[in-house]
Amino acid sequence: MQYRSIGNTTVSAVGLGAMPLSIEHRPDEQRAIATLHAALDAGVTLIDTADSYHWHAGEAGHNELLVARALARYGRDTSHVLVATKGGRGRPGDGSWTVTATPAHLKRAAEASRRRLGAEAIGLYQLHKPDPAVPWAESVGALRELLDAGTIRAAGISNVTTGQIREAHAILGDDLVSVQNQYSPAAREREPELRLSTQLGLAFLPWSPLGGIRRSSLDGPSAPTSAGTAFHRIATERGVSPQQIALAWLLTRSPAVIPVPGASRPASIQDSAKATELELSEADLARLDGAP
């Protein structure tokens, strides 16, 4: 396993996106716990969750509670594992997603997440999405208050523009440590945010990092999965999965990149973790950079 930094914390270069373990079509708890334990066994030390990762109405925090149970049952030291959670989104239970990023809501949500995770302070708390009804500086200001209160140890922002990154950095300074935006072989529009994050020393955590290789958990069941791309061809040549090639490619984009692929089976995260051992040649990268 290779390692990278989120602020002052060292984590595995590939994390686990825990969302598929709690939303629609989620596995039973036994398999979900086994998936989380398989991630830990593979050397993964970053687990990405959120209070809105649940399926039905009235079960906010389902994924956070699941992660907390898995860590408690692991049987070995997990003090080095960084659990990153998010607040500011909701799920009414009809498949839709809402956004509420008022300071009052974020402070209540962070405290509820802290309790569910059983932590003295949340290691990394990320504002899930800007709320168009709330001035950005006010939402980010709530993160400043949570830091000052000791509820969270570090702050991040998600689904943001370069301008929002700069404004948040001006408010939070070194306590802003991460940006979590969509980025994948099929979704490269966030290059400006990746470049700025690298310049500012912020970790960049791509969500849905396997887009174009397989469907995201946020996509509908009929969404297409690309096949026959350079990622698939190189995977065949190297005798590994296309997912490993995609993650290895992401890791070359910047030392700030820490992908958090989702998984709902132990074998999936075990395969993803192996991407840190894969070295891509200059010829491979030339083909992948121009893919598909």
Active site residue 53: yes
How far is it, in rounded angstroms, from Cα 246 to Cα 275? Answer: 8
How far is it, in rounded angstroms, from Cα 186 to Cα 288? Answer: 11
DSSP SS3 for 130 = coil
Per the CB < 8 A criterion, the answer to whether 6 and 125 are in contact is no
Structure tokens at 91: 């799920």
> Which residues, 6+ apart, have CB-to-CB distance to 190 below 8 Å?
181, 182, 183
Q: Would you call 125 exposed, middle or buried from its count of C-beta atoms within 10 A (0-12, 13-18, 19+)?
A: buried
Instruction: Please list the helix, strand and coil fractions of the chain in percent, rounded to the nearest 5, in that order.
Output: 40, 15, 40
Measure the CA angle with vertex 217, ends 96 and 202; round to 5°.
Answer: 95
Among residues 3, 53, 125, 183, the one annotated as catalytic is 53
* Residues identified as active-site: 53
